[in-house]
Amino acid sequence: MPHDVTLITGDGTGPELAAVARDVLDATGAPIRWDVQEAGLDCLQKHGTPLPDALTASIRRTRVALKAPITTPVGTGFRSVNVHLRQAFGLFACLRPCKSYRGVRSRYENIDLVIVRENTEDLYAGIEFARGTDELRRAYEAINAASTRKIATPPETTGLSIKPISVAATERIHRFAFQYARSHGRRKVTSVHKANIMKHTDGLWLEVARETARAFPDVEFEDRIVDNMCMQLVQKPELYDVLVLPNLYGDIISDLAAGLVGGLGVAPGANIGPDAAVFEATHGSAPRYKGQNKVNPTALILSGVLMLEHLGENDAARRLEQAVAATIADGRFVTYDLKPSRDDPTAVGTREMGQAIIRALRA
């Protein structure tokens, strides 16, 4: 039976990357039936919305999507399409493997980390109050009436953000991390927090983490304070395996971990919920390179590897990752960022690297 998959082409360099990733995934022989959908800036200019109803309807039907990068304007403009999809489809778990590949420039070797980030709560829940508004004044009054710790700064000069951490969401993401570790033969789960300072939010996170760990005695468990975790990853990343974090810390540490293996160009990602999953490259849309056939397709192709695993196409996933690794290690048919020098005249384009991976698959 073929797998129905929504292919979101994105904007900037997204359509180029989506086309190459589709060709490579088709070359694995996995039976995929694509439903191609648009989103982002290009879609906004054509249809007046960055997130058309046809796209959300497609994901509801297929329950699986591969998404090329989409621009999120800084400060102004439309709301993040990525965040909207996570919230609309309950994609509570963000999965970010960070793995060393021979041939990728990095100061580190043999890194093999998995970041599991809680997607729905924490400061990224978006519960914010703008300075000087009546809404903020009412929030000030309620907080000061209920707490012994008063907010002394005037509401005219202060913004306010609320950090919700619940038992249910915390247990769910830790259970996901432990089940992932168990099913993938991982040895340890590390829960990351700041419970020494935020005792009622991160303190709850740590308490629930410890309770959940008891149900998985076959997987080692430990916890780390987030600032110490950053230092540990820089100094001795080999000590860590699966890290599970609240939303904000997960966003930051997943980029740090990607830096250990050579950058976002080789960092795949997935957002997974009970009823749908969206697989995506974690880098941006690089609009300045649009149409230049220049950007590295590795991250989106490796996201396709995660998608194949999710679909149960484990043999195709294994062969595709091996083909990507072999192409990078060979070094002849890779984009400029994977060459020893970024000015190397032998660098190939996005499409040409995709074709090299297809040749490695067939070999």
Structure tokens, 322: 């091996």
pLDDT for residue 127: 87
Catalytic site residue from 67, 99, 101, 124: 124
Residue pair 281/143 in contact (Cβ under 8 Å)? The answer is no
Q: Which residues pair with 48 in a beta bridge?
A: none
pLDDT for residue 75: 52
Burial 34-66 (b: 16+ CB within 10 A, else e): bbebbbbbbbbeeeeebbbeebbebbeebbbbb
Catalytic site residue from 67, 99, 194, 294: 194
Domain span holding position 226? 107-123+164-260
Q: Please indicate, yes or no, whether residues 190 and 219 belong to a single structural domain of this protein.
A: yes
Burial 214-236 (b: 16+ CB within 10 A, else e): eebeebebebbbbeebbebbeee
pLDDT for residue 326: 98
Residue 293 lies in a domain: yes
Residue 98 lies in a domain: no
- Cβ-count burial of 2 within 10 angstroms (0-12 exposed, 13-18 middle, 19+ buried)? exposed
Q: Please indicate, yes or no, whether residues 117 and 138 belong to a single structural domain of this protein.
A: no
Residue 233 lies in a domain: yes
List Cβ<8 Å contacts ≥24 apart for 199-205: 201/163, 201/164, 201/165, 202/165, 202/246, 204/165, 204/166, 204/167, 204/170, 205/165, 205/170, 205/246
Residue 100 lies in a domain: no
241, 260, 279 - which closes a domain: 260
Residue 102 lies in a domain: no
| Domain count of the fold of the chain | 3
pLDDT for residue 46: 85
Q: Please indicate, yes or no, whether residues 338 and 274 belong to a single structural domain of this protein.
A: yes
Torsional sign, CA 210, 171, 203, 112: positive
What average pLDDT does the structure give for the chain? 94
Instruction: Name the packing angle between helices 350-362 and 298-310 (round to 10°).
Output: 40
Q: Please indicate, yes or no, whether residues 282 and 208 belong to a single structural domain of this protein.
A: no
Distances (CA, A) of 271 to 130, 185, 292, 307: 30, 21, 29, 10
Q: Please indicate, yes or no, whether residues 138 and 84 belong to a single structural domain of this protein.
A: no
Q: Give the angle subtended at the CA of 117 by the CAs of 115 and 123, to the nearest 5°.
A: 140
211, 230, 260 - which closes a domain: 260
Note if 290 is an active site residue.
no
Q: Please indicate, yes or no, whether residues 242 and 155 belong to a single structural domain of this protein.
A: no
State the residue for tokens 């700041």.
Answer: 194
State the residue for tokens 């009054």.
Answer: 141
Q: Please indicate, yes or no, whether residues 182 and 152 belong to a single structural domain of this protein.
A: no
Regarding pTM above 0.85, the answer is yes
Catalytic site residue from 240, 251, 294, 339: 251
Note if 251 is an active site residue.
yes
pLDDT for residue 175: 98
- Cβ-count burial of 273 within 10 angstroms (0-12 exposed, 13-18 middle, 19+ buried)? middle
Q: Please indicate, yes or no, whether residues 300 and 362 belong to a single structural domain of this protein.
A: yes
Residue 228 lies in a domain: yes
Q: What is the pLDDT of residues 73-109, one digit of tens each?
A: 655 556 678 888 988 999 999 999 999 999 999 999 9
Q: Please indicate, yes or no, whether residues 136 and 246 belong to a single structural domain of this protein.
A: no
> From CA 332, how far away is CA 346, in angstroms rounded?
7
223, 240, 260 - which closes a domain: 260
- Residues 6 or more apart whose CB falls under 8 angstroms from that of 80 comprise 72
Q: Please indicate, yes or no, whether residues 171 and 211 belong to a single structural domain of this protein.
A: yes
Tens-digit pLDDT string for the chain (363 aa): 899 999 999 999 999 999 999 999 999 999 999 999 999 888 888 888 888 999 999 999 999 999 999 986 655 556 678 888 988 999 999 999 999 999 999 999 999 999 999 999 999 888 899 999 999 999 999 999 988 888 889 889 999 999 999 999 999 999 999 999 999 999 999 999 999 999 999 999 999 999 999 999 999 999 999 999 999 999 999 999 999 999 999 999 999 999 999 999 999 999 999 999 999 998 989 999 999 999 999 999 999 999 999 999 999 999 999 999 999 999 999 999 999 888 889 999 999 999 999 999 998
Provide the CATH number for the domain around residue 116.
Answer: 3.40.50
pLDDT for residue 190: 98
Note if 255 is an active site residue.
no
Q: What is the pLDDT of residues 273-285, one digit of tens each?
A: 999 999 999 898 9
Q: Please indicate, yes or no, whether residues 312 and 233 belong to a single structural domain of this protein.
A: no
> From CA 319, how far away is CA 360, in angstroms rounded?
9
Residue 186 lies in a domain: yes
Note if 4 is an active site residue.
no
Q: Please indicate, yes or no, whether residues 214 and 114 belong to a single structural domain of this protein.
A: yes
Catalytic site residue from 26, 227, 315, 330: 227
Provide the CATH number for the domain around residue 49.
Answer: 3.40.718.10
The alpha carbon torsion through 325, 331, 335, 336 (nearest 10 deg) reads 130
Residue 101 lies in a domain: no
State the residue for tokens 């983490």.
Answer: 209
pLDDT for residue 78: 60
